[in-house]
A and B are shown apart, each in its own frame.
Chain A
Amino acid sequence: MESLDPVTLARIQFAANISFHILFPTISIAMGWVLLYFKTRFDRSGDAAWLDAYGFWVKIFALTFALGVVSGITMSFQFGTNWPGYMQHVGNVAGPLLAYEVLTAFFLEATFLGVMLFGRSRVSNRVHTLATFLVAFGTTVSAFWIIALNSWMQTPAGVSVVGGKVHVVSWLAVIFNPSMPYRLTHMLLASGLTVAFLVAGVSAYRWLRGDRVASVNAALKTGVTLAAVLIPLQILVGDAHGLNTFHHQPAKLAAIEGVWHTERGAPLQLFALPDEATQSNRYALGIPKLASLIITHSSDGEIRGLNEFAGAHPPVAKVFWSFRVMVAVGMAMLLASWLTAWQLRRRGEPAPWQARLLVAMTFSGWLATLAGWYVTEIGRQPWLVTGILRTADAASSVGGGMILSTLLMYLALYVVLLASYVSVVFYLARKAGKPLAANLEGVTA
């Protein structure tokens, strides 16, 4: 049992804040592009259904964006309060990357968001479409910088370390560090899938309620098709990301696969309870040799075990299970999207059970994304920056009591906000289905 020392509390608090925060950019990154798609379809065809879909989803986008902004402000304070050692040791890398994110992305998206949301009657249609593009572009640029920094913390490159402090030798090597292309692609696809299932789920919800206007059908088709196209890509990229982890972060990979001792022909564990005390898996149920086959592309390939990283490997059970949750959600996504896409192609509408399944999976992207981030972030422990800075050496000297009380405050707030967000998304869906007259009030903001 871990005791609640200030370092653990600082980690829990930071994890709570960043977990809450990432939910919203995960939606707004891809939602920006989906809105641009709706807008462009309308511009090209003049079909009001696309504008209608845009009008509905832009409300949810605005709400999502606001939650992302306010929870992001919290992050900018906690980098310093919770991890003062971070900037001290790796500020030469982290400083410029964070500064570039604010300068090139935050202002762009936040400023043009106003024009995108409220400026349709004040600027030309082309300028409005451009504003929509710039918001989508800004969210993606922001993802680029922050993923570059996160990936550098996973697989540092392009620096020399003098007296515990990093100095940049090559910025290109820092930004495009070994895991960056994989993590960026993986995250952008995760965002795409999260939005695809959100759009499909909410549209299916409206469809089930008998609200089957053209814009609902168009959005449903867009969501399902997007999901069906992205999920196989995501599985391929995820596999490549795993290979990258095998080469650059073998301890993380060993935890993912539950390999305690270096072995050839390692099984793929479907179920197990990894036990740190005995350094073994209890109740293991695995497919022989499959892990080696997937990771090394040879059924007899060697996977380095956790025994080689004694004292410097991540907590195994958390990484092991987070990974399995992520993969399970991914498989469910594959099944749900392909079955529904097939039905939509054949019949033009989903089967009712498929629609209900999509509603149940509305926020499945959040689950997979969080689980995936837990794999990569917990899997990096005990390092904050792999091989350069340990998490414990960067932690704050702020007292545990202060952290605990603010942590409880944040947690209570986040529970309320999350519940409000989900309920408002479905409330807006119900309201959109009401006749126009009842819908005229409340078009503001």
Chain B
Amino acid sequence: MTAELVLPVIFAGLMAISLLAYVILDGYDLGVGVLLPLGSDEQRDTMIASIGPFWDANETWLVLGVGLLLVAFPMAHGIILGELYLPVALMLLGLILRGVAFDFRVKAQAHHQPAWNAAFAAGSLLAAVSQGVMLGRYLTGFAPGAAAWGFALLAGIGLTAGYVLLGAGWLIMKTEGELQQRAVRWAQRALLGTGLAVLLVSIATPLASARIAAKWFALPDFLLLLPLPLASLALFVLLAISLPRLAARQAAGNDNFCWLPFAATVGIVLLSFWGLAYSVFPEIVIGRLDIWQAASDAEALRVILAGAIVVLPCIAGYTVFAYRVFRGKARGLSYS
């Protein structure tokens, strides 16, 4: 009896962690992909080199997140992905284009390289926008109508801006010189877009859903939740102030705190994610299905959980190992 109550919560948590890991990890490499056309030829190679060793594993978090949705909440998987059929297909198109362009752009004939570069950037952009649209559609409970679709488009632009901010932060941390300077400027523009999008989504979400509004604006919950938007605001301000100073110091050869923009952006993602998760929980298809109604049998969940408890720490361990191997500034990628 208790297993039936507890296991869906645990799996909702595991799924949330996977999707969060995905948004942060693939978020920065998608962001770098969107930024690719802005770099010079040489800078493009460095930009790709900074994400080269990681992108495969980053995308695996999406497979885990969607896989957990499939195996732990199969009914929700059917409904959600059925509703999102078109944006999912476009996202997959984007991810496929991007993933293969990564290899083709350096392996195919030299005169094909511009086309594969374009495919890489377009694929990254398409994947990012589609994911934002998916999020927007999900939050409205797949409501019909122009307003709901407008909201989804807004989320699409907003998530893309967020990914670009993550990507620019990643480049500030992993590169140096001219490219790093440019990345700071890209980050400043993306910061504006991300800030606007987070603000609009925060205003629109409670307007779109009376249930979510009730969750946020009742006392004492409102006071307990207040730190979330306040901390986000603080991080936005921190970024707005620190980016120009960082650029000036880096121009003078001082690279301290090059990790700050990326870390602050991750903080914003964490807070936004927590806010969204709080809004939605314990529903899994908004207005239709909660996690207990959607969950698989406890017998299957127990077996998966046993494996996950053993394996997830190992995955975390060797992921840290891989990031340590490639720590420091990105150099040109070489197989030798």
Contact surface of A with B, Cβ cutoff 8 Å: 55, 58-59, 62-63, 65-67, 69-74, 76-77, 79-81, 84, 87-88, 91-92, 94-96, 98-100, 102-104, 106-108, 110-115, 117-123, 167-168, 171, 396-398, 402, 406, 409, 413, 417, 420, 423-424, 427-428, 441-445
Q: Are A77 and B81 in contact (CB under 8 A)?
A: yes
A406 to B322, CA, bound (A): 36
Other 11 A-B pairs with CB < 8 A, given A84-B82, A114-B322: A63-B100, A69-B99, A92-B297, A103-B311, A107-B319, A113-B57, A117-B52, A118-B333, A118-B334, A420-B100, A443-B334
What are 18 contact pairs spanning A and B, CB under 8 A? Answer: A66-B103, A72-B63, A73-B62, A77-B66, A84-B74, A84-B78, A95-B70, A96-B300, A96-B304, A98-B70, A98-B71, A99-B307, A110-B57, A115-B325, A424-B104, A444-B333, A445-B102, A445-B106
Residues of A within 8 A of B280 (CB): none
Residues A99 and B45 in contact in the complex (CB < 8 Å), given A55-B335, A114-B57, A402-B85: no
Stretch among B86-94, B221-229, B242-250, B269-277 lining the A interface:
B86-94
A436 to chain B, nearest CB (A): 12
A442 to B109, CA, bound (A): 10
A429 to chain B, nearest CB (A): 11
Residues A91 and B71 in contact in the complex (CB < 8 Å), given A76-B63, A117-B335, A445-B106: yes
B197 within 8 A of A: no
Output the residue of A80, A104, A397 with the most chain B CB within 10 A: A80
A417 to B104, CA, bound (A): 10
Residues of B within 8 A of A92 (CB): 296-297, 299-300
A204 to chain B, nearest CB (A): 21
Q: Are A88 and B103 in contact (CB under 8 A)?
A: no
A188 to B332, CA, bound (A): 35
B67 within 8 A of A: yes
CB nearest to A103 among chain B residues:
B311
Q: Are B89 and A409 in contact (CB under 8 A)?
A: yes
Contact surface of B with A, Cβ cutoff 8 Å: 45, 48-49, 52-54, 56-57, 59-60, 62-64, 66-72, 74-75, 77-78, 81-82, 85-86, 88-89, 92-93, 95-100, 102-110, 296-297, 299-300, 303-304, 307-308, 311-312, 315, 318-319, 322, 325-326, 332-336
Residues of A within 8 A of B102 (CB): 66, 445
A100 to B78, CA, bound (A): 21
Residues of B within 8 A of A168 (CB): 299-300, 303
Residues of A within 8 A of B77 (CB): 80, 84, 87
Residues of B within 8 A of A120 (CB): 334-336
Residues of A within 8 A of B97 (CB): 413
Q: Are A66 and B296 in contact (CB under 8 A)?
A: no
Q: Are A444 and B332 in contact (CB under 8 A)?
A: yes
Q: Are A69 and B53 in contact (CB under 8 A)?
A: no
A122 to B303, CA, bound (A): 38
Q: Are A119 and B307 in contact (CB under 8 A)?
A: no
B204 to chain A, nearest CB (A): 27
CB nearest to B62 among chain A residues:
A73
Q: Are A96 and B99 in contact (CB under 8 A)?
A: no
B78 to chain A, nearest CB (A): 4
B113 to chain A, nearest CB (A): 9
Q: Are A119 and B311 in contact (CB under 8 A)?
A: no
Residues of A within 8 A of B74 (CB): 80, 84, 87-88, 91, 95
Which 5 interchain pairs have the tightest Cβ spacing?
A114-B53, A95-B71, A87-B74, A84-B78, A70-B99
A56 to chain B, nearest CB (A): 10
Partner of B303, one of A96, A112, A115, A117: A96
Majority-rule SS of B interface residues: helix
Output the residue of B66, B68, B70, B99 with the most chain A CB within 10 A: B70
Q: Are B99 and A424 in contact (CB under 8 A)?
A: no
CB nearest to B96 among chain A residues:
A70
B61 to chain A, nearest CB (A): 9
Residues of B within 8 A of A79 (CB): 70
Q: Are B59 and A73 in contact (CB under 8 A)?
A: yes
Residues A443 and B336 in contact in the complex (CB < 8 Å), given A66-B102, A69-B59, A96-B71: yes
Q: Are A171 and B303 in contact (CB under 8 A)?
A: yes
Partner of B335, one of A71, A167, A443: A443
B21 to chain A, nearest CB (A): 11
A180 to B300, CA, bound (A): 21
Partner of A63, one of B75, B103, B332: B103
Residues of B within 8 A of A402 (CB): 85-86
Residues of A within 8 A of B71 (CB): 87, 91, 94-96, 98-99
A123 to B54, CA, bound (A): 16
A386 to chain B, nearest CB (A): 20
Residues of B within 8 A of A70 (CB): 59, 95-96, 98-100
A115 to B322, CA, bound (A): 7
A111 to B312, CA, bound (A): 13
Residues A427 and B59 in contact in the complex (CB < 8 Å), given A74-B96, A87-B74, A96-B307: no
Q: Are B92 and A74 in contact (CB under 8 A)?
A: yes
A442 to B27, CA, bound (A): 27
Residues of A within 8 A of B332 (CB): 444
Q: Are A114 and B307 in contact (CB under 8 A)?
A: no
B56 to chain A, nearest CB (A): 4
Partner of B53, one of A103, A118, A423, A442: A118
Residues of B within 8 A of A69 (CB): 56, 59-60, 99
Q: Are B315 and A103 in contact (CB under 8 A)?
A: yes
Q: Are A98 and B67 in contact (CB under 8 A)?
A: yes
Residues A73 and B106 in contact in the complex (CB < 8 Å), given A80-B70, A103-B307: no
Partner of B304, one of A99, A121, A445: A99
Partner of A73, one of B92, B107, B110, B303: B92
A278 to B263, CA, bound (A): 71
Q: Are A122 and B104 in contact (CB under 8 A)?
A: no
CB nearest to B102 among chain A residues:
A66
A226 to chain B, nearest CB (A): 23
Residues A444 and B109 in contact in the complex (CB < 8 Å), given A58-B335, A111-B319: no
Residues of B within 8 A of A417 (CB): 96, 100
Residues of B within 8 A of A87 (CB): 70-71, 74, 77-78, 296
Q: Are A406 and B70 in contact (CB under 8 A)?
A: no
A104 to B64, CA, bound (A): 11
Residues A420 and B63 in contact in the complex (CB < 8 Å), given A114-B57, A406-B89: no
Q: Are B100 and A107 in contact (CB under 8 A)?
A: no
Q: Are A102 and B67 in contact (CB under 8 A)?
A: yes
A338 to chain B, nearest CB (A): 33
B83 to chain A, nearest CB (A): 10
Q: Are A66 and B100 in contact (CB under 8 A)?
A: yes
A55 to B334, CA, bound (A): 10
B126 to chain A, nearest CB (A): 12
Q: Are A80 and B326 in contact (CB under 8 A)?
A: no
CB nearest to B64 among chain A residues:
A102
Q: Are A117 and B89 in contact (CB under 8 A)?
A: no
A246 to B129, CA, bound (A): 51
Partner of A80, one of B56, B63, B78, B93: B78
A99 to B93, CA, bound (A): 24
